[in-house]
Every structure is written in structure tokens, then in C-alpha cells.
Amino acid sequence: MSERLYLFTRFERFWHWAQAALIFTLLFTGFGIHGVHDLLKFGLAVRVHETAAWLLIGLWIFAIFWHFTTGQWKQYLPTLERIGAVTRYYVHGIFVGAPHPYRVTVAHKHNPLQRLAYLGVKLVINPLIWISGLLYLFWGSLYASMPAFLDLERVARLHTLGAFLMLAFLIMHVYLATAGHTPLAYIKAMITGWEEVHDEAAIKRPPPASGKGSAGR
């Protein structure tokens, strides 16, 4: 038993995939700049990294404007409702085929843990990457007004920390994206906008066979 919901608008899907492409580009070129690989020449890696960074900043600014003008920012408001059940599901239930305790709706697209994770990205990881990257880029003009404890090396380390935090988030995000009723269900929803919301309890916990119902109660 399932219900089709139009969860993700065209802009949400564009924003999601464009952001993903730019972040992967930044991680790839960033690791190249740090010498982790030599698949790009250093100068080219720097140019691509800076270009992708400006595109991502522009996308973030537009996305912030879109979220506030459409009211979609409310999707990320933290809540403790059913957070215990959702936590137990991801710690144990997901590995034993238990039904997901949270049912998605158009008004509430993200479960409590997703809300906290996305809020952390928006309020901690993104600003850390954004601010440290701009400081590093314009350090020659800004260093004279910076506090004594903040030097270019510390700025670079903060930027690298933000990159590794984003990489950790991406790994978990990609993994959980395959944890739907089929491995590609969530990915398909983010491509088409439509998600099939299944009554997992009815699917995974069928009623007892006829004739064996109330006799033992």
C-alpha cells in the first residue's frame, strides 16, 4: 500500500543536484590543491576551485532567498517529536527490516534527525566553509584587520576542517539515500519530484493468517 506525493519542486531538485555537483567539484579540486592527487595541474585546480566556490555561494544566496520567500525554511526547524524512535530505527531497526517510524508528508518532508543534520549543515558547515574560504581568498587585503590569533594557516585549517565535515555529511547522505523501500527510491524522488510513501508497517508486518487470530488472546 503506497501513496504518491509530489515532495520536491523543480527548484529544489535543481538546487540539490547543482549543489551536489559543485561540492564534489570543490572536494576534488581541493584535495588536488592539497596534493592528495595529481589528476589536475595545480593552477587549473585552483581556478576550477575558485570558480566552483563563487557559483556555490551564488546558489546558496539564491536558495536562502527561496527558502524564506516560500516558507520552506520551516522544514528545517528542529523537533524532538519521535526523535527517539527515529534514532532507534537508524541504530538498529534499519538493519533488521523494521518499518520506518516516520511518515513523510508535504508539510514535513524531513524526519527529526534529518532536520538536525540539515540544520547543522546550514548553520555550521556551510558558514565555516564560506567564511574561511573568503578569508583565505582575500587574506592579502584583510590580514591587517584580523585579530592576532587568526593567521593564514589557521584560516586554511578551518577551511580544511569544513571540507572534511562536508565530506562526512555527504558519505552519510549518500548511504542513507539508498535506504528506502528500494535502493534507488529516494534518488528517483529527487529526480522526478514524486515519492512513493509506503505503509511499511503493513508491508513488513502482515496480519496473521485466518483462523489463528483471536484464539490465543
**74-126: per-residue pLDDT in tens?**
999 988 888 999 999 988 888 888 888 888 888 888 999 999 999 999 999 99
For residues 92 and 153, what is the distance between their CA atoms, to the nearest angstrom? 42
Instruction: Evaluate whether 101 touches 81 at the Cβ level (below 8 Å).
Output: no
Q: Bigger pLDDT: 172 or 213?
A: 172
6-15, 29-38, 109-118, 197-206, range with the lowest pLDDT: 197-206
Partnered with residue 198 across adjacent β-strands are 2
pLDDT confidence of residue 12? 94
Amino acid present at 82:
R
Instruction: Please report where in the chains the cell 524526519 appears, as a residue.
Output: 111
Note the helical H segments in the chain. 10-33, 42-70, 83-91, 112-120, 126-137, 139-142, 152-177, 185-192, 200-204
Instruction: Evaluate whether 179 touches 93 at the Cβ level (below 8 Å).
Output: no
Q: Cell numbers for 131, please give them.
A: 567564511
pLDDT confidence of residue 213? 42
pLDDT over 60 (residue 189) = yes
pLDDT confidence of residue 176? 86
pLDDT over 90 (residue 39) = yes
Q: Report residue 63's pLDDT band, with 50, 70 and 90 as the boundaries.
A: very high
DSSP output for 28-66 = HHHHHHTTS--SS-HHHHHHHHHHHHHHHHHHHHHHHHH
pLDDT over 90 (residue 204) = no
Q: Bigger pLDDT: 63 or 196?
A: 63
pLDDT confidence of residue 199? 58
**Mean pLDDT of the 138-154 span:** 91
For residues 15 and 65, what is the distance between their CA atoms, to the nearest angstrom? 12
pTM over 0.95: no
Mean pLDDT of the residues in the chain? 87
pLDDT confidence of residue 1? 55
For residues 176 and 110, what is the distance between their CA atoms, to the nearest angstrom? 13
Q: Report residue 208's pLDDT band, with 50, 70 and 90 as the boundaries.
A: very low
DSSP-derived 3-state class of residue 196? strand
